[in-house]
């Protein structure tokens, strides 16, 4: 799953782990968060060894897993209060309520604070999961496929939330969307078969390995993908469909 992987992550930066399904992204994140033990090697987080200082590391870490860990009969605000009491038990009640209020506003959830999680849209549920990860001033924030299953409009809203909250934090996210990695990242690490293939800034990677432009289209329910592809290829015969995921089509234009 992960083979001799060596990476550095930096405060104030967003680093994306980019790769197809099965490349080792989620396994890497599971090791970073302490869910899976390492078979060899180790991870240092602000000088603390994950093998011996996991409890200290977790106090400074926020995690948004690929699948939402939410309770349908708790409201948005109650989720943040619950996780807040667990994550920062030393905070006074007033301090915690202020932190929850600030986080709700930062993530665009304030107007939905009294809604039950079970009634939220997919995009709102992902925002809530990200809000939980950011809560309590987490210095390390790990986001596993943060825009999984959301519509294009919600994706861009989530991108804005992540970008606004990188100051003073080390943010690591996994994705298989190249445009997402390009928009958000200071550095992109390409993973394949659990190993690191290449790592660098989006500009460096485009200059070194770029193969043309990407055209991203938002689909409607009645979209005929074959007809769209034929139309594009009537103007650019060498263009091809690279991704058809969720509500988007991504074409590579030579």
Residue 106 has a CB neighbour count (10 Å cut-off) of 15
Tell me the pTM: 0.81
Give the pLDDT confidence of 115-136 residue by residue, as tens digits: 999 999 999 999 999 999 999 8
pLDDT band at 100 (very low <50, low <70, confident <90, very high): very high
Q: On the CB side of 225, how many CA atoms lie within 13 Å of its CA?
A: 16
Residue 101 has a CB neighbour count (10 Å cut-off) of 14
Give the pLDDT confidence of 11-62 residue by residue, as tens digits: 999 999 998 888 889 899 999 998 898 888 999 999 999 999 998 998 899 9
pLDDT band at 64 (very low <50, low <70, confident <90, very high): very high
What domains, with CATH codes, occur in the chain? 14-209 (3.40.50.300), 213-253 (no CATH)
Separation between Cα atoms, residue 217 and residue 31, nearest integer Å? 35
**Are the C-beta atoms of residues 169 and 14 closer than 8 Å to each other?**
no
């Amino acid at each position: 799953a992960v083979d001799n992987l060596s990476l550095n992550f930096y405060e104030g930066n967003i680093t994306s782990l980019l790769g197809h399904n099965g490349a080792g992204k989620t396994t890497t994140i599971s090791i970073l968060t302490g869910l899976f033990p390492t078979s060899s090697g180790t991870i240092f987080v602000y000088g603390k060894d994950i093998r011996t200082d996991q409890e200290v590391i977790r106090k400074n870490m926020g995690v948004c897993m690929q699948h939402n860990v939410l309770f349908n009969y708790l409201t948005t605000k109650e989720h943040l209060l619950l996780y807040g009491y667990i994550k920062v038990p030393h905070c006074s009640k007033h301090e915690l309520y202020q932190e929850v209020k600030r986080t709700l506003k930062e993530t665009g959830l304030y107007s939905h604070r009294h809604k039950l999680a079970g009634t939220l849209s997919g995009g709102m549920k992902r925002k809530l999961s990200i809000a939980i990860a950011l809560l309590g001033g987490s210095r390390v924030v790990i986001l596993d496929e943060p825009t999984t299953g959301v519509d294009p409009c919600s994706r861009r809203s989530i991108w804005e939330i992540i970008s606004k909250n990188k100051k003073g934090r080390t943010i690591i996210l996994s994705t298989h969307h190249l445009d997402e990695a390009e928009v958000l990242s200071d550095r992109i690490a390409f993973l394949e078969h659990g190993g690191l293939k290449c790592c660098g800034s989006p500009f460096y990677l485009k200059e070194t390995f770029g193969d043309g432009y990407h055209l991203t289209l938002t689909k409607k329910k009645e979209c005929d993908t074959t007809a769209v592809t034929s139309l594009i290829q009537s103007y650019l015969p060498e263009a091809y469909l690279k991704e058809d995921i969720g509500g988007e089509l991504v074409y590579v234009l030579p």
